Amino acid sequence: MKKYILSIIVIAIMTAIYSCKKENTDQAVKQQDEMMVRSKKVVSLIKQFDEKMNSNLKTGELIDLDSAVWNMEALQNYDYAYPDSSTKDFVLMKSHYSIAVDANNKVLMSDVQVVNGLMEDTLIYQLSQFPEEVKCMKFWDVALDSVVSTTAYLSATGGFGFNLLIGTYWGFDEDDDWLWGTLGQEYGDPPVGKCDGTQVGVSDGSDELQWRLNNPALQLAEPYIFTDLETHETTGFEWETGGVYQLYVGWDYPEDNCLTNDTLTYYLLNSHDIINTYDYEGGLRPPTKSFANVEIKDELLLLPYDGQHLHYYTITYGTITLVGLPD
In this prediction, residues 278-307 reach a mean pLDDT of 93
Assess whether pLDDT exceeds 60 at residue 16: no
In this prediction, residues 44-69 reach a mean pLDDT of 94
CB 153 within 8 A of CB 147: yes
Q: What is the mean pLDDT of the chain?
A: 88
CA distance 91 to 135: 11
Give the rounded percent of residues in the chain with a pLDDT score beyond 90: 69
Task: Give residue 208's Cα distance to chain centre.
Answer: 16
| Cβ count within 10 A of residue 128 | 9
In this prediction, residues 72-94 reach a mean pLDDT of 91
pLDDT tens string 216-275: 766 666 789 999 999 999 999 999 988 899 999 999 999 999 999 999 999 998 999 999
Lowest mean pLDDT among 57-61, 114-118, 168-172, 321-325: 168-172
Give the start-end residues of each E strand in 68-183: 87-100, 106-108, 135-148, 151-164, 178-179
CA distance 156 to 60: 26
pLDDT at position 166: 57
Q: Is 244 strand, coil or helix?
A: strand
Side-chain half-sphere exposure of 22, counting CA atoms within 13 A: 0
Assess whether pLDDT exceeds 70 at residue 23: no
The pTM for the full model equals: 0.71
CA distance 87 to 311: 20
Assess whether pLDDT exceeds 60 at residue 181: yes
